[in-house]
């Protein structure tokens, strides 16, 4: 047996301690087998290691030094395990990579690898739980698509699985339960066939779609890895990507559909992941802008995103003044609605129009006038300016110096009526109330 090792790369250590050998043997003293896949269980605070070997253990190891490595094959089983992914409920998705035998007289391979799900009794429990296999039902008579139904060359079930636009009902079938079957290591591939699970052509790795609540799982089917296979084009021989949709994490049923079928120029997919481009303001250069998730464009180029490239704004004295336009790709739905409401109610900022706390620059520069039968006197107004009463010597208009600069936008008249200052919006209906004071805007 070849020796396996568990090592850790320390990114923040000095040159002499950047790589740490954590373990070469498990807790029983046996040498660690060669490892293929790895996943982190945040509930157990352990790493799950797969060996892609039905005769070798599945491991769980602590990330400290020295690492404690245990065999969890009594709950997760043994198989050609490779990819490992966990959902928000602590369920472990395990993909298997075991190539099947050749179909009679051809280089096409019989599907022989399964998609498993381990459901722990509680999140992080890698010793007690259920191992389940995905079982897909055909659309003809709702019978399971099994290895037997896919063994003939150009099998109708196998062809149907790879047709764009098709969708299939799928169920999770329990193949091993520690509460019933005990904790002895077992061969998961053998039990999956006995329970009529649906095999694929080496589905090696998969990932949950980010931001979707763990309701969509995408996994790749590596295929036959042979350019002469007669099932390359229509049966996933080149490779495929499948989409598994479920109503919630841990749901007992799901829907399976083909997401992408390789065409020969792209073949033999081994790994699946989602590309995210994070564009902070500090990372943006004057010539580039982030136009959407996962895409980037330049001023002179074009982008594959649906959003178009926004032109770079000038800086310094030539910069455009005023409020920046609202961009849907920068604000979330709730934040976007708040921003639109603020600009609608407040213009470019400040208090709501009509509020007693709001005064335009025009109001701060003008005086309010009213007529009384007595001589000139002064009374304070509620707007903070001086309300002056005058006789018939009241001017018909204010000079530009008295009026101050003209400010665009709505204004108000403050009129003293019976000793009380009343604010009225500027309009043709309210101007006659000024009794001679004109040219207000």
Positions of E strands within 318-419: 368-371, 377-380, 386-390, 412-417
pLDDT at 390: 43
Closest of 265, 216, 217 to residue 239, by C-alpha: 265
Look at residue 413 and tell me whether its pLDDT is greater than 80.
no
Is the distance from CB of 159 to CB of 176 less than 8 angstroms? no
pLDDT at 297: 32
Strand partners, 152: none
pLDDT at 354: 45
Per-residue pLDDT reduced to its tens digit, 222-241: 988 899 999 999 988 999 99
Look at residue 380 and tell me whether its pLDDT is greater than 80.
no
Per-residue pLDDT reduced to its tens digit, 272-286: 788 865 544 444 333
Residue 314: strand, helix, or coil: coil
Dist CA 232 CA 240 (whole Å): 10
Is the distance from CB of 157 to CB of 145 less than 8 angstroms? yes
pLDDT at 434: 52
Per-residue pLDDT reduced to its tens digit, 344-371: 665 544 444 444 444 555 555 544 444 4
Look at residue 41 and tell me whether its pLDDT is greater than 60.
yes
Q: What is the mean pLDDT of the chain?
A: 76
Dist CA 47 CA 49 (whole Å): 6
Residue 292: strand, helix, or coil: strand
Residue 227: CA count within 13 A, CB half-sphere: 3
Q: Give pTM, 2 decimals.
A: 0.64
Positions of E strands within 180-300: 206-208, 216-221, 240-245, 253-261, 288-292, 295-298
């Amino acid at each position: 047996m070849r020796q396996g090792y568990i090592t850790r790369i320390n990114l923040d250590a000095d040159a002499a301690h950047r790589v740490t050998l954590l373990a070469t043997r498990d807790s029983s003293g046996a040498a660690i087998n060669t490892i293929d896949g790895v996943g982190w269980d945040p509930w157990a605070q352990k790493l799950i290691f797969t060996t892609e070997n039905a005769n070798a253990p599945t491991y769980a190891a602590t990330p400290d030094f020295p690492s404690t490595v245990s065999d969890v094959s009594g709950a997760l089983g043994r198989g050609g395990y490779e990819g490992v992914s966990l959902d928000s409920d602590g369920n472990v998705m395990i993909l298997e990579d075991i190539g099947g035998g050749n179909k009679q007289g051809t280089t096409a391979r019989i599907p022989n690898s399964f998609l498993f799900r381990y459901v722990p009794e509680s999140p992080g429990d890698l010793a007690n739980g259920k191992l389940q296999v995905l079982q897909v039902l055909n659309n003809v008579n709702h019978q399971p698509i099994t290895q037997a139904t896919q063994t003939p060359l150009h099998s109708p079930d196998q062809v149907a699985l790879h047709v764009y636009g098709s969708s299939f009902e799928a169920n999770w079938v329990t193949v091993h339960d520690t509460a019933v079957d005990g904790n002895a290591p077992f061969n998961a591939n053998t039990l999956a066939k006995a329970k009529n699970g649906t095999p694929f052509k080496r589905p090696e790795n998969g990932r949950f779609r980010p931001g979707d609540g763990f309701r969509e799982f995408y996994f790749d089917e590596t295929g036959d890895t042979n350019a002469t296979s007669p099932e390359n084009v229509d049966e996933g021989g080149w490779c495929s990507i499948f989409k598994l949709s479920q109503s919630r994490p841990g749901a007992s049923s799901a829907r399976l559909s083909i997401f992408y079928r390789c065409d020969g120029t792209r073949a033999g997919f081994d790994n699946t992941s989602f590309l995210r481009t994070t564009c902070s303001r500090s990372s943006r250069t004057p010539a580039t802008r982030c136009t959407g998730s996962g895409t980037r464009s330049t001023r002179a180029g074009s982008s594959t995103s649906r959003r178009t490239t926004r032109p770079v704004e000038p800086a310094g004295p030539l910069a455009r003044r005023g409020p920046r336009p609202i961009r849907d790709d920068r604000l979330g739905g709730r934040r976007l609605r708040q921003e639109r409401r603020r600009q609608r109610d407040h213009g470019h900022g400040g208090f709501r129009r009509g509020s007693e706390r709001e005064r335009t620059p025009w109001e701060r520069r003008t005086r309010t006038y009213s007529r009384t039968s007595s001589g000139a006197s002064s009374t304070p107004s509620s707007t903070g300016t001086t309300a002056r009463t005058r006789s018939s010597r009241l001017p018909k208009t204010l000079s530009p110096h008295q009026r101050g600069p003209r400010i665009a936008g709505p204004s108000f008249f403050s009129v003293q009526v019976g000793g009380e200052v009343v604010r009225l919006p500027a309009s043709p209906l309210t101007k006659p109330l000024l009794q001679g004071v004109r040219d207000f805007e």
